[in-house]
Structure 1
Amino acid sequence: MQSFLHPVHKRKSEEICDTDAKFSCSVESEEDAYKSDFHICDLPDSILLKIFRYLSHKELLLSVALVCQNFNALTKDPHLWRYINLQGLLKVTDKTLVHVTTISNNVLSVNLTDSKFITDEGVIQMTSKCRHLQRLKLVRCLEISTAGMAAIAQNCRFLQFLNLDCCTRLTDEALSQIGNGCSMLQTLYLDQCLNISDKGVENVAKGCHKIKALSIGQLPQLTDHSLDAISEHCPEMEQFNCMSSGFSGQGLGMYIGRWKKLHFLEVSDMKVVNDCVVKAIVSKSPAITDLNLSLCRNVTDVGVESIVRYLPHLKRCYMAACQITDAGLKLFAENCKKLISVDFGWCVAVTDEGAQAVCDSLPVLRHAGLVRCDKMTLKKSLELCENFPRIHVSNLWLDLQRLMQAYQNKDKASRNKELCSECHQQMGMVDVSAFTEYLAAEERGEKIEAS
């Protein structure tokens, strides 16, 4: 049939048809591409390496390297092994350690936390290859002793961070080696290294003048002699933890005040810490932003008065199990507007009034620990949670309510029974009838007016 379209319209119609044909071809080609057998192994090596950088070394060793020969070769790229983290591997031996630390000639960080099979020999071989090492974590590496520390001191002159928590075979001689060889060290953890004494701590302090962060928690054998040496030889201290150590109250008040840049301090679980000691410390350390006095049961509202007076920049304060009342909480609410996180758990005198004051008056507060403040009511806890969604209010009732999320796949009866049992056994709550009533009301869709 002859077309009755004007010549111009005819040309436009032909152009449209051509466009439709091209579009149809492009759709078909896309569908063909979609149907083609594309595999991740077809990606360029450069893209695969970028993906592998998001994986842990455990995943690289135990999964990726076993996929194919190409993946195995790519997992040995030196850029993937500059910051080595072997924490979580079930059995890391000296052979494994030496293998992974020789892939790159510029290893900067090694984490061997809980690698209980690593010995001094493995550390000696590793440090001989990792001359530029800056960070090393040997937490709970129970076979490491003086020989390993000597190798670290000799070969790792650029070391800045060293974590030796719970390395129970370390002695004063091992610390002397660190003091002699690691002059650039800035952060040192020695918690629960029970075989060291004042002499070892003094030798470290004398040799490592640049230390800014030191943790010597749970070392009751240490005396004020250690504290004196640290404060004298490490004047740039910014973070200090001596939880459960053997220092006297007088020593704490006298020596900690020497550190004008100190902003983090933990002196928790120390019977010698009372209101007078708190005042002696904070009056000389106005830069403190993080303070942990938990389990210092001789600290009362009088100590709080000193804290709010001398620490204008306080952001985090933890005073669990101290003798704090609503009056102390109101002091924080009125004077410490920069507080982000507080913990008054097990302060048995705290009531609804104190908790309300803290939540009302602290504009940037994000966490309020109120576990086992038994004079608080369930009603007030729920009100705080509802009225202050920006604040994570933590107490017995709310934590148990959150715990229910872990039991969603169980029937309600067994779940509630298990929750009440955990409430009784782990949190020390003797009478769980109120919580049982709350759960029953929740199942019925009712709101409970608890007191």
Structure 2
Amino acid sequence: MSGKTADPEWPNWVELPRDVTAEILSKLGAIEVLTSVQYVCSSWLQICKDPFMWRTIDMHNLEDLFDMGFDLEKICRGAVDRSNGHLSSINIDYLGNDEILQYIADRSSHLTNLRLANCYSISDRVLIDSISNFPLLEEVELSYCSLSKESLEAVGRSCPLLKSFKLNCRGYRYPLIECNDALAIAEICMNYATSRYLETS
């Protein structure tokens, strides 16, 4: 009798039920899915094409990825396209610019959660134009973006369902508004909408 123990049996991920696989893959980020995961097998590719896989798009902490050869703007557009109008939440960090925001606005009228951080290239004009395409927004976070008080007021005017508004400019070197004005501006936004939660820093 041999004392050798049998190798443990690892699950065959490809044979998991579709709904279980979809739930697992939905936890991954857009970059992982669009650059590698979808190519594992044909069944995973079909799951990754399902619009409901893309109701949430998380592209934050991207600062270190710009030097790795990824076309992050292309990935973001591809993720938005995959959502096919079902996008409800998007989180963008170090990537946002006028073209990306306009692209999202033209295809995501059901958005309820928007987070933009370190998006220095988004202009007031495009934010004001785009925000009007998100009438269902309930949560907005703007951190370290070069936006004026007019842009922030536009958020309140255009988002009647707004429940949470976070504005962060602490430590930002080139704010277009003074940090001590941020609270007053955010309160104006809340007066326009039905916001229940306000945070500024």
| TM-score category of the 2 structures, normalised to the smaller one | 0.7 to 0.9
2:200 to 216, 223, 226: 216
> For the residues of structure 2 that align with 1:202 and 1:86, how far apart are their CA atoms?
29
Which structure is higher in strand share?
2
Conserved? CA contact 1:162–1:189, under 8 Å: yes
Conserved? CA contact 1:95–1:122, under 8 Å: no
Q: CA RMSD in A?
A: 2.8
Alignment-derived partner of residue 141 in structure 2: 163
Unaligned ranges ≥5, structure 1: 1-34, 218-451
Alignment-derived partner of residue 173 in structure 1: 150
Q: Matched residue of 1:102: which SS?
A: helix
Alignment-derived partner of residue 164 in structure 2: 187
Residue type at the aligned position of 1:111: N
1:162 Cα offset (Å): 0.6
Q: Give the TM-score, by structure 1 length.
A: 0.36
Structure 1 segment 305-320 matched on structure 2, within 5 A = none
Residue type at the aligned position of 2:77: V
2:189 to 201, 204, 218: 204
Conserved? CA contact 2:87–2:108, under 8 Å: yes
Change (3 A) 1:45 1:196: same
- Does residue 1:107 correspond to 2:90, yes or no? no
> For the residues of structure 2 that align with 1:86 and 1:183, how far apart are their CA atoms?
26
Alignment-derived partner of residue 74 in structure 2: 95
1:50 to 23, 30, 38: 23
Q: Matched residue of 2:82: which SS?
A: coil
Structure 1 segment 194-343 matched on structure 2, within 5 A = 194-196=175-177, 198=181, 200-201=185-186, 203-208=188-193, 210-217=194-201
Q: Matched residue of 2:103: which SS?
A: helix
Conserved? CA contact 2:30–2:76, under 8 Å: no
> For the residues of structure 2 that align with 1:70 and 1:154, how far apart are their CA atoms?
38
1:163 Cα offset (Å): 0.6
> For the residues of structure 1 that align with 2:186 and 2:196, how far apart are their CA atoms?
15
Q: Matched residue of 2:57: which SS?
A: strand
Alignment-derived partner of residue 112 in structure 2: 134
Alignment-derived partner of residue 342 in structure 1: none
> For the residues of structure 1 that align with 2:186 and 2:19, how far apart are their CA atoms?
48
Instruction: Render the CA deviation track for 1:181-212: whole Å, top value 9, x for unaligned.
Output: 1122121111117312547446424423x222
Change (3 A) 1:77 1:203: same
Q: Give the TM-score, by structure 2 length.
A: 0.74
> For the residues of structure 2 that align with 1:54 and 1:201, how far apart are their CA atoms?
32
Instruction: Render the CA deviation track for 1:16-41: whole Å, top value 9, x for unaligned.
Output: xxxxxxxxxxxxxxxxxxx9xx9533
Alignment-derived partner of residue 248 in structure 1: none
Change (3 A) 1:69 1:180: same
Conserved? CA contact 2:96–2:116, under 8 Å: no
Query: Percent of counterpart pairs with the same letter?
Result: 27
Aligned residue-pair number: 178
1:146 to 96, 110, 124: 124
Residue type at the aligned position of 1:174: S
Alignment-derived partner of residue 74 in structure 1: 47
1:134 Cα offset (Å): 0.7
- Does residue 1:41 correspond to 2:41, yes or no? no
1:165 Cα offset (Å): 1.2
Conserved? CA contact 1:57–1:86, under 8 Å: yes
Instruction: Render the CA deviation track for 1:371-402: whole Å, top value 9, x for unaligned.
Output: xxxxxxxxxxxxxxxxxxxxxxxxxxxxxxxx
Change (3 A) 1:216 1:119: same
